Structure 1
Amino acid sequence: MKEKKEKEFDFPYLVYIQFEESKKPYSFGAHEKYHVNDMVVVETVRGQEIGKVCVPAIPFDPKKVKGECKPIVRKASQADLEQKEKNKEKAKHAMEICAACIRHLDLDMHLISCEYTLDCAKVIFMYVSDERVDFRQLLKDLAHQLHCRIELRQIGPRNKAKMVGGIGNCGMECCCSRFLSEFDTVSINMAKNQMLALNISKLSGQCGKLMCCLRYENDEYTQLKKGLPKLNSQIVFEGNKYRISSMNVLQKQAKLENREEVRFVSFDELWPNKGEKHEKTKKL
């Protein structure tokens, strides 16, 4: 077992590769040095693909590799690059065939993309569907017409948005297609933590899920709110009793209300000494 592992990691160099459809870097073993922006042919679980070197080759370190380390086959030649462009045209034709088969079989699936491996041994179709699809007949029809291995991969709405791209509410390109390589969990509790109005349509991105940016500031809001009373707490300020109806932790300001008036007061005025905060705030 030990000999097998040593043989598996028998590379002098470790190289990080990015693929055209993903910003995430993947590690590969190499027997020679490669430089940034070099186009290389690599062996992946899907087959041979062309990727771009995004980090200069470094000495191989098994601790930086998770699972099996696939090899870099060779530096991409002009013929490889031309084959890649031919595969893109070939994929367009395959996608038309697949779409026609889906319509003929009346399957509930929305085709997103199609991609051939470099050697055309396999074609991968990506699709979105709300339910599980029985595509056994579809596989038979596609194999009969395309004469290669077929892979149908179901993706979620967030992955679809990453592939399609678009402009977010902020006016910039969607984070998922611009720089995110993995999706973290985003929950409605993050919106509550930032005291946002729970309007799902405004809090959702193009994928229909909660916007990824809710996670970016969540830790900061948690830190800013540490030690503050909850909303609707009762407080005595300048001899009058008020209810804390809202707080702006960025501006450090609280909105106080009672039957007679509404006041906006800074945190420094309410709690000049943070240690006295809980003594001045009373829950009734």
Structure 2
Amino acid sequence: MVKVVGIRFRNAGKIYYFGPGKLQLKAGMHVIVETARGVEMGTVMTDPREVSEESVVQPLKPVIRIATEQDEKQAEKNRQKEKEAFKICLEKIAKHKLDMKLVEAEYTFDNNKLLFYFTADGRIDFRELVKDLAAVFRTRIELRQIGVRDETKIMGGYGICGRELCCHTFLSEFAPVSIKMAKEQNLSLNPTKISGVCGRLMCCLKNEEETYEYLNSRLPNVGDYVTTDDGLKGEVSSVNVLRQLVKVLVEVNDEKELREYQADQLKFKPKRRRDVKLTAEEMKELAALEDRGGKSKIDDTK
């Protein structure tokens, strides 16, 4: 076992392990650590605890110190410098007529590197831009192309639920999201209804996927024929997945009657869920919203 402390370097960023040494650390504290990018200030997210050595990326780097008042001032100074760097980079992009959208400028704590995050439709030859920026800032320059989900993670915003975006507040990695999840949850396949601020399928579709798969497995399809526990046979008219209710059109005394049953009151042969019929053009539009997820490109501090 090895003693570690979890540290995060940005909102909803990945938590990295460091060795606390003899420092008395608590969640919420700011600390100074050495990372692959250089010396950085991070926030303690988990109190010191012991974990198995297999779960730690070796070598485990130690926390250098608890952030001092001077360190806090330096971090604030960096934030101000980043705003100026952002403006200058925008001017240089316009000068070189590059088809790219600048998202954020970020200094490492020790100012040894200045990173610029941007989005673009394709590959961008920014070699001349880097030379220009290096001449202005006289430090190492890195331009990093990110995707639209990372852009939204940085910028933040509000979802259709009225809450702050999950990716900006707590999601450290992007889960793969597919059209199948929207179908499983009986959602409208209108792209504007199921896509988030980033223009990709909403991350929250993944949150309830497992629950919907289980609930749907206990229900018949609309149009299926079932036998009720009171001995009637009929055709399924509609289903309520969350309440596990099924409306069945049954025949009683030579008359059609719509009755509602609990799923466990019905007997039916489980079938594969029927796919929603879409045109090739509609499928192409929806496929463009899918995202395979994975590690965020803005989170590689260690």
TM-score by length of 2: 0.79
Structure 1 residue 60, shift from structure 2 partner? 6.5
Does residue 24 (structure 1) correspond to residue 24 (structure 2)? The answer is: no
Native 8 Å contact 1:27 1:65 kept in 2: yes
Structure 1 residue 44, shift from structure 2 partner? 1.3
In the TM superposition, 1:1-284 aligns within 5 A as: 13-36=3-26, 37-59=28-50, 61-66=52-57, 68-235=59-226, 241-242=234-235, 244-256=236-248, 263=258, 265-268=260-263, 271=266, 276-278=267-269
Amino acid at match of 1:27: Y
Native 8 Å contact 2:218 2:263 kept in 1: no
User: Which SS does the other structure have where 1:84 is aligned?
Assistant: helix
User: Take 1:128 and 1:104, find their aligned partners in 2: how far apart are those partners?
Assistant: 18
Q: Deviations over 1:124-167 (max 9, x none)?
A: 11111121111111111111111100011111111111111111
Native 8 Å contact 2:11 2:168 kept in 1: no
Native 8 Å contact 2:238 2:247 kept in 1: yes
Would you say how many aligned residue pairs link Structure 1 and Structure 2? 264
User: Take 2:58 and 2:180, find their aligned partners in 1: how far apart are those partners?
Assistant: 34
TM-score by length of 1: 0.83
User: Take 1:79 and 1:191, find their aligned partners in 2: how far apart are those partners?
Assistant: 50
Native 8 Å contact 1:13 1:32 kept in 2: no
Q: Which residue of 2 aligns with 1:4?
A: none
Change (3 A) 1:30 1:190: same
Change (3 A) 1:139 1:214: same
Amino acid at match of 2:164: E
Q: Deviations over 1:241-282 (max 9, x none)?
A: 53x353211122234469x968352235851xxxx4339xxx
What's the Cα RMSD here? Answer: 2.6
Query: Unaligned stretches of 5+ in structure 2?
Result: 271-302
Native 8 Å contact 2:226 2:268 kept in 1: no
User: Take 1:189 and 1:79, find their aligned partners in 2: how far apart are those partners?
Assistant: 52
Change (3 A) 1:262 1:42: farther
Larger RCO, structure (CA 8 Å, separation 6 or more): 2
User: Take 2:134 and 2:249, find their aligned partners in 1: how far apart are those partners?
Assistant: 70
User: Take 2:177 and 2:43, find their aligned partners in 1: how far apart are those partners?
Assistant: 31
